[in-house]
Amino acid sequence: MELKKNPQADLNRNSSLYFVIGLTIVLFSTWRLLEHKTYEQVKEYETTLNVVDDMTEEVPITQNFNTPPPPPPPSAPSVIEIVENMEEVEETVIESTESSQNTAVEEVIVSTDEVEIEEVEEDIVVPFAVIEHVPVFPGCEQLASEAEKKACFNEKMQLHIQENFKYPATALELGITGRVFVQFQIDNKGYVKGIRTRGPDKLLETEAERIIALLPKMKPGVQRGTSVKVNYSIPISFLMQ
């Protein structure tokens, strides 16, 4: 049995055209919805100014009060009585404490046995470069000449800084570098005191002060046979490699 089909009844013949037309309508509707804008409605108000034609000002009614005049001042008495007010005052005589030529001065004799003489320790500070006997760093006691002791002191100082040096973490992150000048004293007991620093940043100054504060006790410097305070200065460089 053969099927008979009318060619005009083919529904798939123009399906592509209908799809394109539908897609175009949908896209156009979507675009219009996206482009649609709404605006707030601005209410319009009518402003009017009412001016009164009659500008007469009402003046309040005031009353006049008759105030009596003040009373006259009291009159002066006809007779003035004089009262005597004389009292005897005792005079105070102030004696002079100044001495004259006629005043005898007693001579006071003081025995030298009664005078106590206290020895005052002189606070002498001598620079490291000119002191007679430099402070002795631990480990330099066996050296004989002053030149060798000075060289040993400087060498031990550099070694101490290298062993205790620690770059501050914050300064390392911020890239802070520079040279810190440190000055301190070795007192007459051999202890390090009076540390002062000067550098480009507080972080570096604090680290330099910490390193110098770790110095050990030394044999104090001697000037003219007496232990004295000795000033010493050294620069500490903070560099990134």
DSSP-derived 3-state class of residue 193: strand
Task: Tell whether 110 is covered by a domain.
Answer: no
Task: Tell whether 190 is covered by a domain.
Answer: yes
Question: Max Cα separation, the chain?
Answer: 178
Domain that holds residue 165: 125-238
Task: Tell whether 232 is covered by a domain.
Answer: yes
Task: Tell whether 17 is covered by a domain.
Answer: no
Residue 51 is predicted with a pLDDT of: 43
Task: Tell whether 184 is covered by a domain.
Answer: yes
Residue 14 is predicted with a pLDDT of: 74
Task: Tell whether 52 is covered by a domain.
Answer: no
Q: What dihedral do alpha carbons 226, 229, 230, 235 form, nearest 10°? A: 170
The one-digit pLDDT tens for each residue of the chain (241 residues) are 555 566 566 666 677 888 888 889 999 999 988 888 777 765 554 544 444 455 455 555 556 667 778 888 777 666 666 666 666 666 676 666 665 656 555 665 656 566 566 665 567 888 988 889 999 999 888 888 888 999 999 999 999 999 998 888 898 888 888 999 999 999 999 999 999 999 999 999 999 999 999 999 999 999 888 999 999 999 998 888 7
Which residue, among 189, 234, 187, 230, has the nearest Cα to 211 in the 3D structure? 234
CATH no. for residue 222?
3.30.1150
Residue 77 is predicted with a pLDDT of: 64
Number of domains in the chain: 1
